[in-house]
A and B are shown apart, each in its own frame.
Chain A
Amino acid sequence: DSGVTQTPKHLITATGQRVTLRCSPRSGDLSVYWYQQSLDQGLQFLIQYYNGEERAKGNILERFSAQQFPDLHSELNLSSLELGDSALYFCASSPRLGPTDTQYFGPGTRLTVL
């Protein structure tokens, strides 16, 4: 158990809908990262927050957005969902912002878009 929690574990929805994925980092960790894992694209970095502020963006679509709240939990919002958005979405956290900080991954949320 990494200490990172993600809810829900599974999410099934229809095209065009909007969903919110939630992540609670390990106690004391200030950085939160979001990743998407799909068969087509592999594991891709989406976005990163540090202490409430967005710090880096990766291959995140404009239909997707995220935020980190004052209690440090984070939410990833996916809108206008398409079939291709079906994937496993991971959240990870680390204590600080450094590139060598170990990132601890949550168990993921499996999103299925029908």
Chain B
Amino acid sequence: AQSVTQLGSHVSVSEGALVLLRCNYSSSVPPYLFWYVQYPNQGLQLLLKYTTGATLVKGINGFEAEFKKSETSFHLTKPSAHMSDAAEYFCAVSKDGTYKYIFGTGTRLKVLA
């Protein structure tokens, strides 16, 4: 069965520092992987997705993620954190290659001035 694990329910970084949010997945089929961001009192917004092809995926707001099959990981990074990046981030995998998403438990990112 597919699952998603996000290490660290809360992550704090200083403004300008590297952001690294971890996501590991399990999937019996080639996975489709997604990162979503949720700002307070808002719905989820897609940051980026991996389907096929290039394993380094660039998304919006300067975020990127690398699909590493050998490590079953899809970690999200951003070189320099901005105060506006403070939000909750969700990693998701498509179940059995379908449109049913399985979400991780989320990581709340705090950016310190």
Contact = CB atoms under 8 A, between A and B. Distances in A.
Interface of A: 2, 4, 31, 33, 42-45, 48, 56, 58, 90, 92, 94, 97-108
Given A43-B90, A102-B49, A97 B43 contact: no
Interface in B90-113: 90, 94-95, 97-106
Contacts of A100: 32, 49, 51, 94
Contacts, number: 56
A104 B99 CA distance: 13
A65 B73 CA distance: 35
B42 interface: yes
Interface residues of B, number: 23
Given A42-B105, A43-B103, A99 B46 contact: no
Contact of B100 (A2, A43, A45): A45
B56 interface: no
Nearest to A45: B100
A96 B32 CA distance: 16
Interface of B: 32, 36, 41-46, 49, 51, 90, 94-95, 97-106
Contacts of B103: 42-44
B100 A103 contact: no
11 contacts: A2-B45, A42-B106, A44-B103, A45-B95, A45-B101, A56-B100, A90-B44, A97-B99, A99-B32, A101-B99, A106-B43
A31 B99 CA distance: 10
A99 B106 contact: no
Contacts of A58: 100
B99 A105 contact: no
Contact of A90 (B41, B43, B46, B102): B43
A108 to B, nearest CB: 6
Given A43-B106, A100-B51, A105 B44 contact: yes
Given A43-B103, A100-B49, A105 B43 contact: yes
Contact of A107 (B36, B42, B95): B42
A12 to B, nearest CB: 17
